[in-house]
Structure 1
Amino acid sequence: MKPNCCIQHLNNVAQELHKVDGPVRILDLKGMQGINVTSIHSRIRLKEHNLNQERGTVSLWFFSLEDLTLRYQRSCMMANNPFSGRIPFLSDQDNPNDCDSAHFAMFFEYGWHTQFVAKWYRGPLWPDKIDPPQKAMVTSEKCSFLKDRWYQVTLSWDKPKEELRLYYNGILSGVSDRFKKAFYFEQIQNGLIAGSPMLCHGPIAFFDEVLDADSVYQNYRQNAVDYDPEMEANLRHLYLGQNSQPFTWQPDGDWTEKLNLSLKEPDHLESFHLQGYTDAPSILSGEGLLVETPQIPQQSDSLENQVYLWTREVFEGDLYVELDFKPLRPNGLSLLMLQAIGMSREDTLTDYDPPTCGNMDTVHSSDTRNYHWEFYREMNDVRNDLASGCFLKNPFCWPLGYGTLPAPLETNQWHQLKFLQNDDRLIGAINDQIVFDARDSSNTNSGSVYNCGHVVLRCMVNTKVLFRNLRILNGQTAFREFSRQA
């Protein structure tokens, strides 16, 4: 049954230009028309909406005039427009670019985390999104839009159930936090405003019901003018974990085992340098390494209650890591830092005072180069209705990979992590299903392809995970070490 559309905007743009302030133009792409504002001061005003109702859905058609994806940010880029790091889609703020001041906003961010946001509260993403009360918001990662192609973004809300959902071209790409205690929604104060010179805004429809996934998909397919089955398959793989490939690689004679710890013996903890909340790790004899951080909300005053475990050894060359892990309760987040070393390839732990903080800065905001793979993610600021994983190059915060598995990783069951770096190719797999298969490059203004460093395990608050059977191998290097002096 076709869903009941209660409010429509921009269906016939030639008749709706009275809703526009400032210079604009009408563009036609593949038979669908939209409005492109040609000034940062232009506004498309939508006086009617239903976002203050208990339940509903809104769908927006748009195309971007340039590829919309991650980009490097510098303060000079905000000299005239302090909000240039975001592209607004809808907002109740008179300046739609000022998303922080809006009680409701949908926008794209150029940063790696997160890239598309719908929020129902006034304030910035950080740290407001994690500080109490927990804000009503839903986000999506690994989000990019190709130029000159119509996309449909759909947002549904059910305030009594405290559930928000995001869809791209009919495919579910984001779900609000399933571990929330209560969502804080703000009332939208005015009409809605759209307008960015980067976008051409097409038809916008509001529905007075929560459309389910099938209805959202049918609504997209019935109105799409440039449906692309290959793009849909990619979205389904990226956001639903469909058609994942098996990890079948096995080390051969060119690989040398450098570390093999069962993590079941009391002295195995001595193989690590501990940083941050050092009470978290302990050895359960015969079982493994237990890492248990405080069961408290992730917010500004709890960020030090997190722990790093650095291997004392440095590993050089191509890298292979195996690790078994068993989540003992839902929620939390565990990640690996790989090839972790100083900016000039110096050893961070021995050349300087070792870091002591428990927060995330050592991962992505310090002078420690590393790749980081969030392999178990159930925090309140990531998608946690299924298993997702992200892979970045730091300290450049350069996303190299993202992927999902169809369901959350089960608690009280063992899972196996495998990571392989073979020159510039980097693969991460869980239970022999590839989560990401990425390529790094020395020619992207993010430094060289890393090939030397520590392996570091990091666990955030609310984590209780048992680890065992850590195995690390290196591939052959082009050179042979002739001698060494301490």
Structure 2
Amino acid sequence: MLVEKIIYTNPLMQPTDISNWKAEGEIKVTFEEGLILENGAPEELGDYAHFTYWLPEKFPSNIKIKWEFLPIREPGLCMTFFSALGKNKESIFDPQLNKRNGYYPQYHSGDINAYHISYFRHKYPSELAFRTCNLRKSSGFHFITQGGDPLPPAEDALDFYEIQIEKYGGKISFSINNLLIFEWQDDGEAFGPVLEEGFIGFRQMAPMKAKYRNLVISELMDGGE
């Protein structure tokens, strides 16, 4: 039986809650009953207008990440990175790593490794026509698995949705409002070794505007029978 120990909580309600978060790309940040994120760079920059926002600390391998999410404006896409480290297991903020500015190939085929889950994939016509949540593993941009996305268009969202990622022993599960979207066991062979401890980051594709609150991260441990 797994037990969990809360190791990080953040209501995401005021500037001091994110004062030490690390921005890559230009981000416009506001607060209104939660943290509101949107691109600070002009949308005309295309793929260079997107951004990633990292928590500044490294988290253990076996974790549960839970937060509340509300889409405000689309088109766009939201993503979460976890177990992120440099290829030699250095910090993602190591100055010897290539500088990142929110351009996606820097994350999926650059000099960092991470799992990443994309949800609210409402950016391109193909994503609007058939909506899924996707799990990938990098470096290498390996597509792993996907499940149907239950999140509605922004105009139909009435309240926050609870997003949850669990990772234990290489098994990853993703759910929204307690509805399991997918789960997958990393065998440590097909796409390289299982990624263990690392950093967590949130990414948005312009011109997405979304609100976040009540971020809780727990370490998962074997509690015995």
Query: Do Structure 1 and Structure 2 share a fold, with TM-score over 0.5?
Result: yes
Partner of residue 71, structure 2 = 327
Which of 372, 380, 383 does residue 124 from structure 2 map onto? 380
Larger relative contact order (CA 8 Å, sep ≥ 6): 2
Question: Does residue 361 in structure 1 map to residue 108 in structure 2?
Answer: no
Q: 2:197 aligns with which of 449, 452, 457?
A: 452
Native 8 Å contact 2:97 2:111 kept in 1: no
Partner residue in 1 for 2:22: 273
Counterpart amino acid of residue 392 in structure 1: R
| Residue in structure 2 matching 1:291, options 9, 22, 37 | 37
**1:420-435 to 2 correspondence within 5 Å?**
420-435=166-181
Query: Secondary structure of 1:268's partner?
Result: helix
Q: Deviations over 1:415-454 (max 9, x none)?
A: 111000111211011111111111212111x221111110
1:371 aligns with 2:119: no
Gaps in structure 1 of 5+ consecutive residues? 1-249, 478-486
Identify which of 6, 11, 14 aligns with 1:262: 11
Letter in 1 for 2:119: F
Q: State percent identity of aligned pairs.
A: 20
State the shift of 1:360 in Å.
Answer: 0.4
Compute the displacement of 1:354 (Å): 7.0
Kept in 2: contact 1:262–1:470 (CA 8 A): yes
TM-score normalised by length of structure 2 = 0.88
Question: What whole-Å deviation, never above 9, does each CA across 1:216-242 have from its counterpart, x for those lacking one?
Answer: xxxxxxxxxxxxxxxxxxxxxxxxxxx
Q: Residues 277 and 304 of structure 1 are in contact (CA less than 8 Å); yes or no, is this contact kept in structure 2?
A: no
Question: 2:186 pairs with 440, 450, 463, which one?
Answer: 440
User: 2-side partners of 1:405 and 1:303: how far apart?
Assistant: 23
Relative to structure 1, the CA distance from residue 259 to residue 314 in structure 2 (aligned partners, 3 Å threshold; closer, same or farther) is same
Pick from 415, 418, 429 the counterpart of residue 164 of structure 2: 418
**1:114-162 alpha-carbon deviations (Å, 9 max, x no partner):** xxxxxxxxxxxxxxxxxxxxxxxxxxxxxxxxxxxxxxxxxxxxxxxxx
CA contact (8 A) 1:315 1:452 kept: yes
Matched, 1:346 2:90: yes
- Confirm or deny: 8 A CA contact 2:51 2:205 kept in the other structure: yes
C-alpha separation in 2, matches of 1:465 and 1:359: 19
Per the alignment, residue 141 of structure 2 pairs with 397
How many residues are matched? 220
Q: Is the 8 A contact 2:66 2:163 kept in 1?
A: yes
SS in 2 for 1:434: strand
Greater C-alpha radius of gyration: 1
- Asked if structure 1 preserves the Cα contact closer than 8 Å seen for 2:119 and 2:149, the reply is no
Shift of 1:469: 0.8
Q: How many Å apart are 1:385 and its aligned residue?
A: 3.8
Residues 212-251 of structure 1: matches in 2 within 5 Å? none
Q: Which moved more, 1:407-416 or 1:457-466?
A: 407-416
Q: CA deviation at 1:320?
A: 0.7
Local SS of the residue matching 1:356: coil
CA distance in 1, matches of 2:172, 2:193: 14
Partner of 1:44: none
Unmatched 5+ stretches in structure 2: none
Structure 1 counterpart SS, 2:152: coil
Q: Deviations over 1:153-197 (max 9, x none)?
A: xxxxxxxxxxxxxxxxxxxxxxxxxxxxxxxxxxxxxxxxxxxxx
CA contact (8 A) 2:7 2:219 kept: yes
Deviation at 1:355, TM superposition (A): 2.9
More strand by share: 2
